[in-house]
């Protein structure tokens, strides 16, 4: 009998070593190496078509000889998912969806399976029984689709046998960490198994042109569990985010070979499943009966999508010595930089004040165009002067207090105009090429922070 061969794998990045190491030389993480059996069975085990499809030998081709063709898109019937994917499903694509437990990944995929018209879909579950899935399907839809097939299986060899018989047009795997391949002797969910199972599904997707969705678990750090190579192998990585105690969920594109990698889809979790939120500005702007201090509206962009978002600030005297600086949904270091600009350029003494910043709606913003709204909200709270809810802001703030231009300003102005805002403050360097007469909103162009403060606070 052959000696069992083992190797050590980094659980963070998948780096392989012949011996145990305290620190991974690839990703520099400590204590991530685990021992796994890597000896393959001597008998040949069938994989997708037993790898029997004699592969075509690839030959090099000149770039100008390759025929270009636009990839065919399959509409999913879910406008938010289509937007995040770049316009629909691409044939032969491998899509990985990650998110916290209970956030709604399985619900989103089952909803897609039940609503997809005219496509035979195979939903493979390694975590739930057929009865559990049936219960959820009835809650989502009164009359579940007849084109959705459920398979509760974890062995990739058995899965591919059923795929050959059924010949589905779309495949959903829930989840990739539960699958195991007979090629690898280690346990399901280990680095080797996740990598091997993904490679087999990738080969199947590319050879047959079948789109495959993989649901992936995440670690306590928020990264998708398994080796980092998993994210390199797939075509698209989507992150499903949100607080389980709130109703709104955000589907964010992290990597996309067939579209923009910064798109955003918003859903509302209801008892009957996930509802698409077509106008996110409505949920990101709170409905108020009276004007309150410390609130300013920013016109931001997430991917190709303009949104109006509420920025909330609270400034109060520090009662316990060192003042606190806390930001939710915004980079704390950037907030500290903006507070330093206020102190140096505008003379506001905030060094002895606690400053708390919150981006409403529970989303995280990285668009620098929100800078001006953050400053206005902070000064509004500090001076206890309310800013009109009919004003919005779209500009970056530099270290010298200058108001800098931001990209795609016309989309931001059009969104604010559509939602009934009366004025928008932008950088004067953004005015070039804008047809002011086609907007009903008043566009106020400024170049310094002092100008904004004098216009807003007098």
In the chain, where the domains are located: 6-37, 74-278, 283-457
Task: Quote the radius of gyration of the chain (alpha carbons, Å).
Answer: 26
Tell whether residue 437 is among the known ligand binding residues: no
- CA 377 to chain CA centroid, nearest Å: 27
Count other C-beta atoms under 10 Å from residue 172's C-beta: 25
Angle at 232 (CA atoms; ends 26, 38), nearest 5 degrees: 65
> Which CATH entry fits the domain spanning 283-457: 3.30.230.10, 3.30.420.40, 3.90.1150.10, 3.90.170.10?
3.30.230.10
Tell whether residue 101 is among the known ligand binding residues: yes
Tell whether residue 103 is among the known ligand binding residues: yes
Strand partners, 148: 121
Tell whether residue 100 is among the known ligand binding residues: yes
- Identify whether the C-beta of residue 95 lies closer than 8 Å to the C-beta of residue 236: yes
- pTM recorded for the entire structure: 0.77
Tell whether residue 99 is among the known ligand binding residues: yes
Tell whether residue 272 is among the known ligand binding residues: no
Topology (CATH) of 74-278 = Rossmann fold (3.40.50)
Is there a shared CATH topology between the 74-278 domain and the 283-457 domain? Answer: no
Distance CA 309, CA 453 (A): 20
- CA 419 to chain CA centroid, nearest Å: 26
57: buried, middle or exposed (CB in 10 Å: 19+, 13-18, 0-12)? Answer: exposed
Buried b (16+ CB within 10 A) or exposed e, 178-213: bbbbbbbbbebbbbbbbbbbbbbbbbbbeebebbbb
Q: What is the pLDDT along the chain (458 residues), one digit of tens a residue?
A: 456 678 888 877 778 888 999 999 988 888 888 887 765 544 445 455 654 444 556 688 888 888 776 667 889 888 999 989 988 899 999 999 998 888 889 999 999 998 888 889 999 999 899 999 999 888 887 666 678 999 999 999 999 999 999 999 999 999 898 998 888 777 788 888 888 899 999 999 999 999 999 999 887 666 776 677 788 889 999 999 877 667 788 898 889 998 888 788 889 888 888 898 888 877 777 766 678 899 999 999 887 788 899 999 999 988 777 888 999 999 999 999 999 999 988 888 888 899 999 998 778 888 999 999 999 999 999 999 999 989 999 999 999 999 999 998 999 999 999 888 999 999 999 988 788 888 899 999 999 999 999 999 87
Strand partners, 117: none
DSSP percent split of the chain into helix, strand, coil, nearest 5: 30, 30, 40
């Amino acid at each position: 009998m052959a000696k069992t061969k083992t190797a050590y794998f980094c659980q963070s990045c998948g780096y392989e070593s012949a011996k145990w190491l305290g620190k991974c030389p690839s990703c520099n993480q400590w204590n991530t190496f685990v021992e796994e059996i890597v000896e393959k069975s001597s008998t040949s085990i069938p994989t997708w078509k037993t790898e029997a499809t004699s592969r075509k030998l690839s030959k090099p081709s000149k770039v100008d000889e390759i025929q270009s063709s636009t990839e065919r898109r399959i509409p999913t019937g879910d406008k938010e998912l289509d937007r995040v994917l770049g316009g629909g499903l691409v044939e032969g694509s491998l899509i990985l969806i990650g998110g916290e437990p209970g956030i709604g990944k399985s619900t989103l995929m089952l909803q897609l399976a039940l609503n997809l018209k005219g496509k035979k879909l195979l939903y493979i579950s390694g975590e739930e029984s057929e009865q559990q899935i049936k219960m959820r399907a009835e809650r989502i839809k009164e009359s579940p689709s007849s084109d959705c097939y459920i398979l509760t299986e974890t062995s990739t060899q058995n899965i591919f046998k059923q795929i050959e018989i059924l010949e589905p047009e779309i495949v959903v795997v829930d989840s990739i960490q539960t699958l195991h391949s007979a090629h690898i002797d280690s346990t399901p969910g280990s680095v080797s198994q996740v990598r091997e199972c993904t490679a087999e599904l990738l080969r199947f997707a590319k050879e047959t042109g079948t789109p495959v969705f993989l649901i992936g678990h995440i670690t306590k750090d928020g990264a998708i569990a398994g080796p980092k190579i998993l994210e390199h192998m797939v075509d698209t990585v989507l992150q499903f985010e949100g607080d389980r105690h709130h109703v709104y969920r955000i589907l964010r594109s992290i990597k996309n070979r067939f579209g923009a990698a910064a798109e955003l889809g918003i859903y509302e979790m209801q008892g009957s499943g996930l509802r698409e939120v077509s106008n996110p500005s409505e949920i990101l702007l709170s409905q108020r009966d009276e004007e309150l201090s410390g609130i300013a509206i920013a016109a931001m962009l997430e991917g190709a999508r303009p949104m109006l978002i509420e920025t909330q600030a609270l400034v109060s005297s520090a009662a316990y010595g060192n003042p606190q600086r806390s930001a939710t949904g915004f980079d704390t270091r950037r907030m500290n930089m903006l507070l330093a600009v206020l102190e140096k350029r505008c003379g506001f003494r905030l060094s002895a004040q606690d400053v708390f910043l919150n981006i409403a709606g529970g989303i995280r913003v990285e668009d620098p165009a929100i800078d001006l709204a953050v400053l206005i909200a902070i000064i509004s709270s500090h001076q206890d002067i309310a800013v009109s809810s009919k004003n919005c802001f779209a500009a970056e703030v530099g270290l010298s207090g200058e108001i800098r231009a931001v990209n795609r300003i016309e989309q931001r102005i059009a969104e604010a105009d559509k939602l009934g805002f009366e004025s928008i403050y932008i950088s004067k360097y953004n005015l070039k090429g804008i047809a002011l007469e086609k907007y009903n909103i008043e566009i106020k162009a400024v170049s310094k922070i002092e100008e904004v403060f004098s216009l807003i606070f007098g």
